[in-house]
Structure 1
Amino acid sequence: MAEIRDDSALDSPAFEVRFIGESKGKGLFAVKPFKAGDVIFEERPLVCCQFAWNAAYGYLACDFCMRPLEGAEENVRRLTGKKDIVLPYPHCCPTNRNSHTQCPSCGVWYCSSTCQEQAWNQYHRTLCLQSHSHHPNHPLEQLNGAWKHMHYPPETTSVMLLARMIATVQQAEDPANALHFFMQFCHRTVNEEQEIAHKLLGEQFKGQMQVLQELMVKALYSDSVQQWLSPDGFQSLMALVGTNGQGVGTSPFSEWVKKVSELELAADEKQQLDSFIDKLYEDLNEGGTASTGTVGHL
């Protein structure tokens, strides 16, 4: 599984981690000035997951790191519905299909064998459906299907993010320590947790919460995570994700735009390229596409 680190792993002369209070938990504080655009620090999420409807609409992403798997040209063709679009400077496309690989058991895609191995070691051994075919009666499929019928776009999180957290604990060498690490993010009262669940699920959140909790128990119950799978524990888990999770948009087309914009081109060629890109963005806006791929992470 992913390395579970304490705050000492964030030691830096530029910032420090401080405990703010019971309601907010810990925070990151700068101890020196930063300029706009400075990188404060980088780390990969503890868990991440593609939003359910985003995946259903056909956006291809690595099932571990969420890197886009479709090329920039394929991306913009799908979103505009115009199959004849040809992007110039194909070498600026960020997608490397040569490294893509699948889980041999269920067929989910990864951008590399490294991501496939990391996913398997962290949570996929537990969550693998063991089939390339869709089985609507599989507990995890039922869970994801129920979530999709409760949480329509625009999406803010995914119940499968919770499933990956649970599976991460189950596969950890020390499940109790992994559970404790995640629980450090929980600093909410019962009323606050209900309010967060209400925002995520809407007016029917109590009934929907019960349905999701029962489906999660059916899919992933084990003694190591039983405190998360009680009604109150599941509400806390939902509040944890609602408070600490973030949604991130990804787009191979946007990455292509950034790379071609850095090319050294003649003035007329540059102007022609800019006009071409502006027209593509107009076509994307007409299609109502604000972001091309969206993932949730913690």
Structure 2
Amino acid sequence: MDVEVRYIDDSKGNGLFAKKNFSEDSILFEESPLVCVQFSWNAEYGYKACDHCLKPLETAEENVRRLTGKTEIVLPYPELCTTNKSTITQCSGCGVEYCNADCQEKAFNQYHRTLCVQTGPLQCLNDAWKQIHYPPETGNVMLIPRILATIQQSCDKENTLNRFLKFCHRSVNDDSHLAHKLLGEKFANQISTLHSLLVQSMPHEHVSQLLSPEGFQSLLALMGTNGQGVATSPFSQWVENVPEKDLVSKLYEDMDANVGSFLDNEGVGLFETQSAANHSCLPNAEIVYRHNNSTLSLRALRDIEAGEEICISYVDECTLSSSRHSRQKELRENYLFNCNCPKCLEQADDPDVTSDEDMSDSDE
């Protein structure tokens, strides 16, 4: 790869660095997740995606009809749709669907052989999670069974376990804070319920340390801090090449009126290389999904020189444009660090308020 992970210091730990010059808009690297899973409510609302790679399983036309609520819509240029429904396969044991036989085989060999026979208990865990973690979704407890099953099915279980443990590096108190933050104050007391359901649904061999209460809390914290959102869409792929932009605008208006901003198949994944990228409020790279599946691409936002640290933003664009106070508050609550990027240092003497909400926070 043309990037490498280097140790920086005790406060920042590792960072991701360029090994060569990159021009703006170029792709620094691509990687598939160690594991990923669709959000539970996203699947419940009919967003059909491959159970392994999150590639859409409906056509662009089917997607638009469902999201607009208008079943009479006929999209022009059907050849621009990238969904191939003829290759979709289904697990004969539990019925989950895949975009093709290759994904089905990869899933079975990595984790699904273990999970398929636990469909009933895992459904109880999934149902409990949905009652605790409503949209907008930021994680999914169902990622954890895939982590555990991946370890159990691995030919080198110790090495696979250690790859996941690299994501777990905080104190017990930090893990507790992040787990509670993920569930929200109202449902934080349900962690023991989720843990009990997980223990009932998974074999314990080779993963007993992760099935302890502390191990489960650590996995929730892992998901909260390292889980990377994945989003795919058959319509967005169609839009990229369609010549009639006026038509596109009207369709987006109709979808927004019917379902709001929730347009994509969405899930969460763990990415080994991407997770080494530190945050900056002036990022020089961004995450994109060019292949309409869970393969992550890191794209340069500006020219990057060899030896330069590659940084992404851990917060959304709206937060990036807000005050230093707002950015620091979100990063402390969700990632447990104070940002010392050039933008934050430059704004160190700025007032700590930019909105009524921030004003009330500062007055407390």
User: What is residue 53 of structure 2 aligned with on the other side?
Assistant: 65
| Percentage of identical aligned residues | 57
Cα distance in 1 for partners of 2:210, 2:188 equals 17
* Paired AA for residue 125 in structure 2: L
User: What is residue 297 of structure 1 aligned with on the other side?
Assistant: 269
* CA 1:122–1:240: 2 relative to 1, 3 Å: same
Cα distance in 2 for partners of 1:291, 1:24 equals 36
Residue 66 of structure 1 deviates from its aligned partner by: 0.6
Which structure has more strand as a fraction of its residues?
Answer: 2
* CA 1:233–1:23: 2 relative to 1, 3 Å: farther
User: What is residue 182 of structure 1 aligned with on the other side?
Assistant: 164
Cα distance in 2 for partners of 1:154, 1:22 equals 34
1:91 matches 2:62: no
Residue 130 of structure 1 deviates from its aligned partner by: 7.4
Cα distance in 2 for partners of 1:25, 1:253 equals 40
Deviations 1:158-183 (A, max 9, x none): 11111100110111112222111110
* Paired AA for residue 216 in structure 1: L
* Paired AA for residue 83 in structure 2: T
SS at match of 2:15: strand
- Of the candidates 150, 164, 167, which is equivalent to residue 149 of structure 2? 167
User: What is residue 124 of structure 1 aligned with on the other side?
Assistant: 112
Residue 291 of structure 1 deviates from its aligned partner by: 2.7
User: What is residue 280 of structure 1 aligned with on the other side?
Assistant: 251
* Paired AA for residue 229 in structure 2: G
Contact 1:221 1:229 in 2 (8 A): no
More moved, 191-200 vs 91-100 = 191-200
Cα distance in 2 for partners of 1:179, 1:250 equals 29
- Of the candidates 68, 78, 85, which is equivalent to residue 66 of structure 2? 78
* Paired AA for residue 34 in structure 1: F
* CA 1:153–1:84: 2 relative to 1, 3 Å: same
User: What is residue 222 of structure 1 aligned with on the other side?
Assistant: 204
Cα distance in 2 for partners of 1:191, 1:24 equals 19
Contact 1:22 1:188 in 2 (8 A): no
More moved, 19-28 vs 201-210 = 19-28
* CA 1:141–1:130: 2 relative to 1, 3 Å: closer
Cα distance in 2 for partners of 1:22, 1:169 equals 29
Deviations 1:19-49 (A, max 9, x none): 3456755331124442232111111100010
SS at match of 1:159: coil
1:145 matches 2:131: no
SS at match of 2:189: helix
TM-score of the two chains, using structure 2 as the length reference: 0.71
Q: Over the residues paired in the alignment, what is the CA RMSD in angstroms?
A: 1.7
Contact 1:186 1:236 in 2 (8 A): yes
Cα distance in 1 for partners of 2:186, 2:215 equals 19
User: What is residue 290 of structure 2 aligned with on the other side?
Assistant: none
More moved, 142-151 vs 185-194 = 185-194
Q: How many residues align?
A: 269
Contact 1:23 1:187 in 2 (8 A): no
1:209 matches 2:180: no
Contact 2:3 2:29 in 1 (8 A): no
1:200 matches 2:171: no
Cα distance in 2 for partners of 1:27, 1:232 equals 27
User: What is residue 235 of structure 1 aligned with on the other side?
Assistant: 217
Cα distance in 2 for partners of 1:112, 1:118 equals 10
- Of the candidates 112, 118, 128, which is equivalent to residue 100 of structure 2? 112
- Of the candidates 31, 47, 61, which is equivalent to residue 35 of structure 2? 47
* Structure 1 unpaired stretches of 5+: 1-11, 132-137, 262-272
Residue 100 of structure 1 deviates from its aligned partner by: 0.7
Cα distance in 1 for partners of 2:150, 2:114 equals 9
Contact 2:152 2:205 in 1 (8 A): no
Residue 139 of structure 1 deviates from its aligned partner by: 1.2
* Paired AA for residue 40 in structure 2: A
User: What is residue 23 of structure 2 aligned with on the other side?
Assistant: 35
